Chain A
Amino acid sequence: MAIAGLVVLVFAVGGASAQRGAPSQSARELAPIDLTGYWVSYVTENWRYRMVTPAKGEYRRIPASPAALPIINAWDPIADQKAGNQCKSYGAAAIMSVPGRLHITWQDADTLRIDTDAGTQTRLLRFTDRASSARPQPTWQGESSARWERVATPDRGGSLRVVTTNMRAGYLRKNGVPYSERATVTENFDVAPLPDGGTLLLVTSIVDDPVYLNAPYIVSPHFKKEPDGSKWDATPCSSTW
């Protein structure tokens, strides 16, 4: 009798667990990959456009539209600084290419948070729709909706896809190559093991902008995972370096 009771209890617990596992699981519980932790930019590509400020007027490898050229040629970093626009090159369309560190955490069960030490920016990647129907004011980091792209392999895995809109107009590069408020950023976050045992985060970013781009601007900066935040060095936005 006691054994029969134990068997019933075992299956009851298992059944309840399986029920919880269906539609009510949070994004954090469903995560096929772990993006949390500290990550550092490893600048092995686009070095000349990321580690230093290129010359005024250079927009090579960015498919800038004719409408962008007057803005590119009028770039004035001092004026940006004075106008309080020193974060224009730290917006969501550019921030992942700015050399620095990321701290990725779960703000809540359905919101992934990315803090950057370069420019002290915060991105919130929401897996659920926001309650308010009113469109908020554009911000540097905009509104990001996220979803997991899972694969059905036995070893699991997958990717995080993020679409960001409602950004303030900003710069794709430090030297004033613009994107508009109508731009959309579509990103995939993937992880890969490194041969030395480390982990790499790869962010493939597509910027579409009907105003200042003739074609999508696609880059894929990558980051190495760090054991802790001991090298975190928060610095404010600057338009001059």
Chain B
Amino acid sequence: MFIDVVMRRVVLAFVIAVLGAYAAFAQTDPAGPQSRTRPAPADYPSQFEFVGSWAPLGTEDVQNDSVPVDYLGLALTEEGRARALSYDESQKSMVERQCQGWGAAYMVLGPFGLRVSSQSDPNTKRLLSYTIDAWEDWMEMTIWMDDRARPPAHALHTQAGFTTGRWEGGALAAHTTHMKVGFIRKTGVPLSDEATIDWRFFRHGDLLTVLMVARDPVYLVEPEIISKSFRLSKVPLDFRDPCVPGYEGREPGDDVPHFAPDQNPFLDEFMKLYNLPREAVLGYRDTLYPEYRKKIKNTYVPPPPCTADCGVAGNFVRRRSP
């Protein structure tokens, strides 16, 4: 009797073990058995070589012409719009602001390439971080890959912010917080210190595509999403000297140049240059979706061809109102 009970238990345990093994077997990824014991994301191997020089391409328009009051492609809050309209580019002539630089978003909004290096623990050789080098008006960005804890909310905020990264689905995914109050467009569109940015770096052959999703509960109604591609450079990118401030006509202690939001003298400049609708230039959310194109199809009139004093490739950037 006792032996019968023991035998039954042994057989039952065997069947359970077999069924358990089958369940694990059935769920195995055809690509390999590793999915049965998934390592922590920090232990995922690099999915591509990120280190190197990545040259800009210039075929994508992410900042338009940097003409004042150009908020195309943005979904701004009323506060964000008012603050943008109060911005005067002369602020950048102030000695104390000339080298202020631009925030993390400028990685994809600026004209420069990316020069990426990696840093490893000298003892374990394990990857600690990637660094994207600075330009003259952009601070270097470190992407921490070692699963370190994010600093508390009141910790130091910088132009570059604090960024952690991990490999995910074949891409490098990163998340930036702790950015100083800054801009998301050189035309003065603000980004608050509550903003966060999610990045994805995809590599396909010699092409690196950087996807930026910037969220800001203060100044953006919807995320600003920008994707920009870079090509692997065979020679290291050459970066210019650091920014050195100089006298540009404004004395220390002068007032900060600005406009009352409803009295910005450049309000119509970009609109007139390209016959663009006011709500699009001022960054209203509806203008980002296809319905808007249908809405304006009977009212939009393309500008006449540029015939004199045109910019590169027949655009109008140099043809300003008299």
Interface residues of A (CB under 8 A from B): 3, 6-7, 10-11, 13-14, 17-18, 21-22, 25, 30, 33, 40-49, 51-64, 72, 99-101, 117-118, 149-159, 161, 175, 188, 190, 192, 194-196, 200, 202, 204, 206, 216-222, 231, 233, 235, 241
A190 pairs with B314, CB closer than 8 A: no
Cα A178 to Cα B127 in complex, Å, equals 46
Cα A48 to Cα B271 in complex, Å, equals 11
B30 pairs with A202, CB closer than 8 A: no
Tell me the residues in window 15-40 of chain B with beta carbons closer than 8 Å to chain A beta carbons.
15, 18-19, 22, 25-26, 29-32, 34-35, 38-39
A55 pairs with B313, CB closer than 8 A: no
A3 pairs with B290, CB closer than 8 A: no
Total contacts A-B at CB 8 Å: 224
Residue numbers in A under 8 Å from B15 (CB-CB): 3, 6-7
Cα A80 to Cα B72 in complex, Å, equals 29
Looking at the complex, which of B77-85, B137-145, B291-299 is the stretch in contact with chain A?
A: B291-299
B303 in contact (CB, < 8 A)? yes
Residue numbers in A under 8 Å from B187 (CB-CB): none
Interface size on B, residues (CB 8 A): 79
Q: Indicate whether A157 sits within 8 Å of B204 (C-beta atoms), given known contacts A51-B293, A52-B302.
A: no
Cα A192 to Cα B19 in complex, Å, equals 36
**B265 CB to closest chain A CB, in angstroms?**
22
Tell me the residues in window 217-231 of chain B with beta carbons closer than 8 Å to chain A beta carbons.
223-229
Q: In the complex, which residue of chain B has the Cβ closest to the Cβ of A41?
A: B290
B44 in contact (CB, < 8 A)? yes
A153 pairs with B60, CB closer than 8 A: no
Cα A100 to Cα B300 in complex, Å, equals 18
Cα A196 to Cα B217 in complex, Å, equals 12
Q: List 5 A-B contacts (CB under 8 A).
A: A53-B300, A55-B302, A55-B306, A157-B171, A188-B202
Q: Indicate whether A44 sits within 8 Å of B73 (C-beta atoms), given known contacts A153-B47, A159-B170.
A: yes
Q: Indicate whether A44 sits within 8 Å of B225 (C-beta atoms), given known contacts A52-B300, A61-B313, A195-B196.
A: yes
**A214 CB to closest chain B CB, in angstroms?**
11
B227 pairs with A153, CB closer than 8 A: no
Residue numbers in B under 8 Å from A3 (CB-CB): 11, 14-15
Residue numbers in B under 8 Å from A41 (CB-CB): 289-290
Contact of B25 among A14, A188, A217 (CB under 8 A): A14
A219 pairs with B73, CB closer than 8 A: no
**A48 CB to closest chain B CB, in angstroms?**
6
Q: In the complex, which residue of chain A has the Cβ closest to the Cβ of B215?
A: A195
A14 pairs with B22, CB closer than 8 A: yes
B25 pairs with A190, CB closer than 8 A: no
A45 pairs with B73, CB closer than 8 A: yes
B93 in contact (CB, < 8 A)? no
**A75 CB to closest chain B CB, in angstroms?**
10
Residue numbers in A under 8 Å from B171 (CB-CB): 157, 190, 192
Cα A172 to Cα B217 in complex, Å, equals 36
Tell me the residues in window 165-217 of chain B with beta carbons closer than 8 Å to chain A beta carbons.
167-171, 173, 196, 198, 200, 202, 204, 207, 209, 211, 213, 215
A55 pairs with B314, CB closer than 8 A: yes
